[in-house]
Amino acid sequence: MLAPILLAVQLFAAQLLSAGALNAQSVDVYARPVQSEPSRDFDVQHYRITLAFDLDAKTFEGENHVTLLPLRDGWDRIRLDAVDLEVNSVLDSAGRALVFRQSEGVLDVSFARTYAFGERVEFRVAYQGSDPKLGLYFDDETPEHPLMVSTDSFPNNARRWIPCYDYPHDKVTQELIVTAPLGNKVLSNGRLVGTREDPEAGTTTWHWRQEQPHSTYLFMLAIGPFAIIKDSYGEIPVHSWVYPDAAADAQWIFAKTPDMLDFYSELFNYPYPWAKYDQVTTPHVGGGAEATSATVLGQQVIHDRRAEQDFSWEWIIAHEVAHQWWGDLITLREWSHTWLHESFATYSDYLYTHHERGPDEGAWDLKEKKERYLHEARSRYLRPIVFDRYDRPHDNFDSHTYPKGAAVLHMLRFVLGDDPFFAALSRFLHDHAFQAVDTHDFINTVKDATGQNLDGFFEQFLFQPGHPVFEVASNWDAGEGVLHLRIAQVQDTSKGVPIYRIPVEVALVTSAGKRVERLWLDQAEHTFRFELSERPQLVRFDEGNRLLKEWTYAKERTELLFQARHDDVIGREWAVRELARSVDDPAVIACLLERARSDSFWAVRRAAVQALQGVPGGSHEDLFRSSVIDPNSKVRVAALRALSSSRNRAHLALFRARFEQDDSYLAQAEALRAIGRVGDQDDFPLLHRAATHASPRGVLKQAAEQAIAEIGAR
């Protein structure tokens, strides 16, 4: 599940963090009520749901045939969830009417006799609904989408289109038999049993059956005149259901889905567990909403090829594919344990990025995930990852659950080692497939699979709030040939944040090569002593970037210059930003110019451009002008912003040309804002024309209007 707010955080939080836009914590999460897993006295086995839709009237009629087993003797009544639904009748297996009562979003049914523990019980609920607004959506035809119906049952909205027991710890099998007007296609979970047309009635009935148990929030339905892009993973159908005019772009946007299924099947050593994998676009999901064997994606997933560099949904598609294991195969028992879904899926989408785009892009993706958590931790609140205080389940779907949990999994991998870590993940899936689980199940699986008792690790990082904050300092003693390294944990421990016991690797680089030391931290302060034959060129704290942390480490310029040229991508970018504080030094300027022109990774080039923009009284316009045609659009955006910051009208022709010629929507938008900074009313025709251009999220229209307003205000 990726909500719209997460998408916004994904795109902008790193910029906010680097700009210092962090406020004091503003949310008291401990004022929220304590929640717990509800008790129940029955175990639903199967729902057979029949629905008939009138898309124009926005109504539906349905029946849910429920099969269950009582969990106690003397069982004679049940309470189901039913919101925005009108129940017409409840009949037992013999067709006899049962007494029922609807009130406050629930349906209470009394049976004519008592049932024993484990005795099979069947009954049918006939009902109707009209445009529920949540859970199930009727959408009129617009220029953006056709007349259609779609669902988002997360986290407890299946009850708005099906009377059911709507809590994730009860896993069931399911059938959905849906009748819709001819010309529409119907998608649901599981395998397609068959379709049947009724030309006289003008309808088609689609029968889907989900044969492995799953939770009600994973139930889905979509009805519309979809184009179906067909693919496969071995014998498993892999189809993408999109609006007809999106079919051409959908072909390439979803082309990697079979590779994602194969990658995760191999990585987790657990074959894809469902009958098929479908993806469908709808207007009502900002990112993605996992559903068993049929993911719901926001319609914004479809874009033209040139938008891919700035608005790629590849990681979202990979994230939702990963949920077929993490969330659908194993499912949280109670909403305190959201990390078992979202942290694992978020870490999985990082793993796919690393696999598909290489280690540098993977490292940068993980860094940005950490920064999104740190932004929330510093500006909103700290809480444990496993947290039982919430007003509604949505409260726990935040940057503690998504990126922090992913970073914790990365640290767990560091502590265990690659092979034991992935063996534990596979063991967890195999031992708990199709079951409801909690965090302690995972902790015990780690013990069983690896022999390692990591209760202390999990206590620190899952059940307590916060993260380590390090102050690092080093001192070279030439007389003794010794490097002294001081590492202090300075996080505020007054509100339950611990002093962490965690390993860290430190790399010591000399002319003879690199030496890596693994150190264990378990105190507020340590000083380590390393004998070396010469002063190190680089002391790299957290070699490999394994830890979730904040840190400061004041270094001499000579070391930073070496690090900016020779470290990994994360270290080089950090060193460039540190050097930005010393732009009065010609050697620093030379290094920044070099990194901006020739570094192999775009984020380092961008950081160097941004650092040079801030040089007091300096002018590096030649560099900025060359960087506006950098291969990476993010660097081009930074260069356009730097070049326009001087408000020199001499660059106006370049800005106009970049708007016309750049193939990045974001770079075009920055060129428009640059025109707004240096242009005049003669640029209004271009800006008004730009405002009519279609672009993802309307970025060109917004930039053009901003430029018009800026010129008009002068």
Note the pLDDT tens digit of each residue in 468-517.
999 999 999 999 999 999 999 999 999 999 999 999 999 999 999 999 99
pLDDT range class, residue 1, cuts 50, 70, 90: confident
Phi-psi region of 128 (alpha: psi -120 to 50; beta: other; left: phi over 0): beta
Widest Cα–Cα separation across the chain: 97
DSSP assigned state of 37: P
**Which residues on neighbouring strands pair with residue 151, listed in sequence order?**
136
Domains of the chain, residue spans: 4-35+333-462, 42-322, 468-554
What pLDDT is stored for residue 24 in this prediction?
58
pLDDT surpassing 60 at residue 639: yes
Helix (H) or strand (E) holding 233: strand 227-233
Question: pLDDT digit string (tens) for 84-99?
Answer: 999 999 999 999 999 9
Q: Report the SS3 class of residue 666.
A: helix
DSSP assigned state of 118: T
What pLDDT is stored for residue 226 in this prediction?
98
Alpha helices in 614-681 (DSSP H): 621-627, 633-644, 652-661, 665-678
Q: What percent of the chain has pLDDT over 70?
A: 97
Q: Which residues of 554-577 are buried (b: 16+ CB within 10 A; e: fewer)?
A: ebeeebbbbbbbebbbbbbbbbbb
301 burial (CB, 10 Å; 0-12 / 13-18 / 19+) is buried
Question: pLDDT digit string (tens) for 418-457?
Answer: 999 999 999 999 999 999 999 999 999 999 999 999 999 9
User: In the predicted model, what is the mean pLDDT of residues 391-420?
Assistant: 98
What pLDDT is stored for residue 600 in this prediction?
98
* Contact between 636 and 664 (Cβ < 8 Å): yes
Question: pLDDT digit string (tens) for 133-169?
Answer: 899 999 999 999 999 999 999 999 999 999 999 999 9
Question: pLDDT digit string (tens) for 352-365?
Answer: 999 999 999 999 99
> What average pLDDT does the chain have?
95
154 burial (CB, 10 Å; 0-12 / 13-18 / 19+) is buried
What pLDDT is stored for residue 26 in this prediction?
85
CA distances from 271 to 198, 263, 507, 555 (A): 39, 10, 39, 49
User: In the predicted model, what is the mean pLDDT of residues 269-292?
Assistant: 96
Query: pTM for the full model?
Result: 0.95
* Class of the CATH domain delimited by 468-554: mainly beta
Per CATH, 4-35+333-462 and 468-554 having the same topology is answered: no
Helix (H) or strand (E) holding 11: helix 4-18
Instruction: Quote helix, strand, coil % in the chain, to nearest 5.
Output: 40, 30, 30
Amino acid at 178: V
Alpha helices in 439-556 (DSSP H): 439-450, 455-462
What pLDDT is stored for residue 5 in this prediction?
39
Distance CA(299)–CA(322), nearest Å, equals: 20
Distance CA(96)–CA(611), nearest Å, equals: 77
Residues 6+ apart with CB under 8 A from 43: 68, 69, 70, 71, 170
Pick the CATH number of 4-35+333-462 from 1.10.1200.10, 1.10.390.10, 3.40.1030.10, 3.40.50.12780: 1.10.390.10
pLDDT surpassing 60 at residue 415: yes
Q: Which residue has tokens 């007007």?
A: 181
User: In the predicted model, what is the mean pLDDT of residues 179-193?
Assistant: 98
pLDDT range class, residue 615, cuts 50, 70, 90: confident
Question: pLDDT digit string (tens) for 2-53?
Answer: 753 344 344 333 333 333 333 457 899 999 999 999 999 999 999 999 999 9
pLDDT surpassing 80 at residue 325: yes
* Contact between 673 and 706 (Cβ < 8 Å): yes
What is the token pair recorded at 639? 């260069």
The CATH H-level (homologous superfamily) assignment of domain 42-322 is tricorn interacting facor f3 domain (2.60.40.1730)
Residues 6+ apart with CB under 8 A from 359: none
Q: Report the SS3 class of residue 567.
A: coil
Number of H helices, E strands in the chain: 21, 28
